[in-house]
């Protein structure tokens, strides 16, 4: 730092040119605004009249029904799991502590493909059951995955880690001496959870649930594969089948309203949740469970991990190795996925870094960039895909060549910039403010100060954000399906096309590659969660 010379009057300099974050916020908001504007301003049509009178209610009630059932499943899986690994000692607890986050690596549509094969009438589960019992398929009842409850199971099994992470953090940050006092008065473990722990942790748990439901509302791939008529499916089909983008935009308004409601609820609950850290209180040891109880806890966590990760991933690996189907035409989609993922993640990451720096130096206008990034995150991929199509329409461009690819990368940045902001902002929040303030008190260019002071501070968050953004763009399906030029199929598109054509064996390899790519950032998230969480022994 010997090159830094203090000015005569030390002053705080901006971290980047002020117009830059404002321009970024505007660009991030344009696809959402375009989709909403076309939905409001477009005139009526026979297709829209048909959708309004015959399908809109079905789309909306089905979507809400899926959210209710998926939310209930998330709570039933995540809250007991988080309670057990946080406050009790049992076999395998240390593994389940981080392993239960791993289902986040698997997109909902991949979970649907794997379970459709596992639970199909000719699949291994049914074959094993029939061989053990001697029954035929007509002699017993079995649940149907191609229903609203089936889609709810798929989405709940994929997204419950949102609730698990927040519930685990809330349980660890409670006043543990209060729990000890309740135990000393003879409160049972169930009453302890119901009367003390859950009321205190409820805001954080519900915030995680809201985020999980927002992702469930944005789903297209799983619902389309299972044949469930949700709003996301209706939007894409109104565009693809009816060639009515205006009708699709009107459906998008309903879906965006649901997503924004969930986002606002999550923000409100996060703000209202209190982090009463256990460091201020007596920190007890984890409770050792009795012989039967500890094995019941182990069995519950093992069952959750098996149905949400082990079984589907094992099936993906088995079919990919056994059939070697789809290996011949996987390289081009893989290259396309890597290229688009790198470009989309890079643009989103640069946007996230500039927005975070803007939040630090210009809090009075931070609400604008925060609103723009939140709008993109809340808008499902199908809605942003429509926004991209409307941009092409207004500018007179076609869905070919570099222009369409540029629009698709833009849509990736709009959708996922908010996901990159979180780890970077969290890294800065853990840094002493005096360090950044000292750097700002020197009269040097913002670029020099960023390279020498702020980038080293932000580097861990930037790395985590880059991994998260790359995997999110790799998994994205509806916007890619709507905007990719001809010949630019990605792994997600390839898996979707195979599954739609009922060639599940061929869909397994691209699905497996997407899941394996998502494991690294999820494992890093688990490691970071264990580092920052309060450790109790």
Tens of pLDDT along the chain (537 residues) come to 444 444 433 333 344 456 777 788 888 888 888 888 887 777 667 777 777 788 888 999 999 999 999 999 999 999 999 989 988 888 988 899 889 988 988 899 999 999 998 888 888 888 888 888 888 777 777 888 899 999 999 999 999 998 998 888 777 766 555 566 556 555 566 666 665 667 777 788 888 888 889 889 888 989 999 999 999 888 888 887 777 778 888 888 888 888 888 888 777 776 655 444 444 444 445 777 788 888 999 999 999 999 999 999 998 888 888 776 656 678 888 888 888 988 998 998 888 888 887 766 666 666 677 777 778 888 888 888 888 888 888 888 877 778 888 899 999 999 888 887 877 776 666 665 655 565 555 555 566 666 666 677 777 777 777 877 888 888 888 889 888 887 888 888 988 888 888 788 888 888 888 888 888 777 776 666 655 544 433
Whole-number pLDDT of residue 516? 86
Same structural domain for residues 309 and 443?
A: no
Rounded to 5°, angle at Cα 385 from 381 and 391: 145
Same structural domain for residues 159 and 197?
A: yes
Contact between residue 521 and residue 471 where contact means Cβ atoms under 8 Å apart: yes
- 89: β partners: 288
- 288: β partners: 89
* Residue 531 in domain: no
Whole-number pLDDT of residue 174? 64
* Residue 515 in domain: no
Same structural domain for residues 298 and 416?
A: no
* Residue 148 in domain: yes
Last residue of some domain: 324, 340, 359? Answer: 324
* Residue 217 in domain: yes
Contact between residue 415 and residue 379 where contact means Cβ atoms under 8 Å apart: yes
* Residue 520 in domain: no
Cα separation, 34 vs 257, whole angstroms: 15
Cα separation, 307 vs 293, whole angstroms: 21
Q: What SS3 class is residue 89?
A: strand
Helical (H) or strand (E) element with 470: helix 455-475
* Residue 530 in domain: no
Same structural domain for residues 101 and 35?
A: no
Same structural domain for residues 159 and 267?
A: yes
Q: What is the number of domains present in the chain?
A: 2
Whole-number pLDDT of residue 326? 55
Cα separation, 410 vs 214, whole angstroms: 21
Contact between residue 422 and residue 211 where contact means Cβ atoms under 8 Å apart: no
Phi, psi (degrees; rounded to nearest 5) at 325: -80, 140
Can you say whether residue 84 is alpha, beta or left, with left for phi > 0 and alpha for psi between -120 and 50 degrees? alpha
Closest by Cα among 425, 396, 391, 423 to 408: 391
- CA torsion angle 15 20 25 28 (round to 10): -120
Closest by Cα among 111, 61, 382 to 225: 111
Contact between residue 74 and residue 163 where contact means Cβ atoms under 8 Å apart: yes
Can you say whether residue 432 is alpha, beta or left, with left for phi > 0 and alpha for psi between -120 and 50 degrees? beta
Can you say whether residue 151 is alpha, beta or left, with left for phi > 0 and alpha for psi between -120 and 50 degrees? alpha
Residue identified by tokens 């053990």 is 132
Same structural domain for residues 89 and 21?
A: no
Whole-number pLDDT of residue 443? 58
Closest by Cα among 270, 221, 230, 185 to 495: 221
CA distances from 408 to 16, 153, 310, 350 (A): 26, 31, 33, 16
* Residue 507 in domain: no
* Residue 523 in domain: no
Last residue of some domain: 324, 342, 375? Answer: 324
User: Which CATH number covers residue 248?
Assistant: 1.10.3720.10
What domain range includes position 172?
A: 42-324
Same structural domain for residues 317 and 330?
A: no
Cα separation, 96 vs 515, whole angstroms: 19
Cα separation, 255 vs 177, whole angstroms: 44
Same structural domain for residues 37 and 49?
A: no
Same structural domain for residues 186 and 332?
A: no
Same structural domain for residues 378 and 491?
A: yes
Same structural domain for residues 479 and 352?
A: yes
Same structural domain for residues 47 and 36?
A: no
Last residue of some domain: 297, 324, 351? Answer: 324
């Amino acid at each position: 730092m010997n090159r830094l010379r203090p000015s005569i009057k030390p002053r705080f300099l901006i971290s980047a040119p002020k117009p830059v974050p404002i321009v970024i916020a505007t660009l991030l908001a344009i696809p959402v605004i375009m989709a909403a504007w076309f939905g409001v301003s477009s005139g009526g049509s026979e297709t829209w009249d048909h959708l309004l009178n015959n399908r809109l209610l079905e789309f909306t009630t089905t979507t809400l029904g899926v959210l209710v059932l998926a939310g209930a499943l998330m709570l039933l899986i995540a809250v007991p799991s988080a309670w057990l690994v946080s406050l009790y000692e049992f076999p395998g607890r240390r593994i389940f502590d981080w392993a239960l986050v791993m289902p986040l690596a698997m997109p909902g549509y991949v979970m649907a493909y794997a379970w459709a094969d596992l639970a199909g009438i000719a699949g291994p589960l049914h074959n094993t059951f029939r061989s053990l019992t001697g029954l035929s398929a007509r002699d017993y009842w079995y649940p149907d995955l191609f229903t609203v409850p089936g889609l709810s199971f798929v989405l709940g099994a994929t997204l419950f880690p949102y609730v698990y992470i927040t519930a685990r953090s809330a349980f660890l940050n409670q006043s543990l001496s209060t729990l000890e006092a309740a135990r000393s008065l003879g409160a049972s473990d169930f009453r302890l959870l119901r009367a003390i722990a859950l009321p205190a942790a409820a805001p954080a748990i519900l915030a995680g649930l809201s985020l999980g439901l927002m992702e469930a509302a944005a789903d297209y791939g799983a619902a389309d594969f299972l044949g469930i008529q949700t709003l996301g499916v209706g939007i894409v089909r109104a565009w693809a089948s009816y060639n009515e983008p205006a009708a699709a935009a009107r459906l998008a308004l309903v879906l965006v309203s649901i997503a924004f409601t969930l986002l606002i609820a999550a923000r409100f609950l996060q703000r209202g949740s209190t982090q009463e850290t256990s460091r201020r209180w007596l920190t007890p040891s984890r409770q050792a469970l009795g012989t039967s109880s500890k094995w019941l806890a182990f069995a519950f966590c093992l069952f959750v991990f098996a149905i949400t990760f082990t079984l589907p991933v094992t099936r993906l690996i088995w079919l990919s190795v056994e059939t070697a189907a789809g290996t011949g035409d996987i390289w081009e989609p893989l290259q396309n996925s890597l290229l688009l993922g790198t470009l989309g993640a890079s643009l989103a990451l640069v946007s996230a870094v500039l927005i975070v720096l803007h939040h630090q130096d210009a809090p009075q206008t931070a609400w604008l960039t925060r609103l723009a990034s939140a709008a993109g995150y809340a808008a499902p991929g199908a809605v942003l895909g429509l926004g991209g199509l409307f941009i092409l329409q207004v500018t007179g461009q076609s869905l070919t060549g570099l222009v369409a690819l540029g629009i698709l990368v833009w849509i990736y940045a709009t959708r996922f910039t908010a996901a990159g902001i979180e780890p970077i902002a969290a890294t800065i929040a853990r840094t002493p403010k005096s360090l950044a303030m000292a750097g700002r008190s020197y009269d040097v260019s913002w670029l020099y100060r960023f390279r020498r002071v702020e980038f080293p501070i932000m580097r861990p968050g930037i790395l985590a954000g880059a991994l998260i953004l790359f995997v999110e763009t790799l998994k994205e399906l509806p916007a890619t399906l709507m905007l990719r030029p001809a010949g630019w199929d990605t792994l997600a598109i390839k898996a979707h096309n195979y599954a739609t054509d009922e060639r599940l064996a061929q869909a397994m390899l691209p699905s497996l590659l997407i899941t394996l790519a998502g494991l690294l950032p999820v494992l890093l998230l688990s490691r970071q969660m264990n580092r920052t969480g309060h450790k109790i022994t």
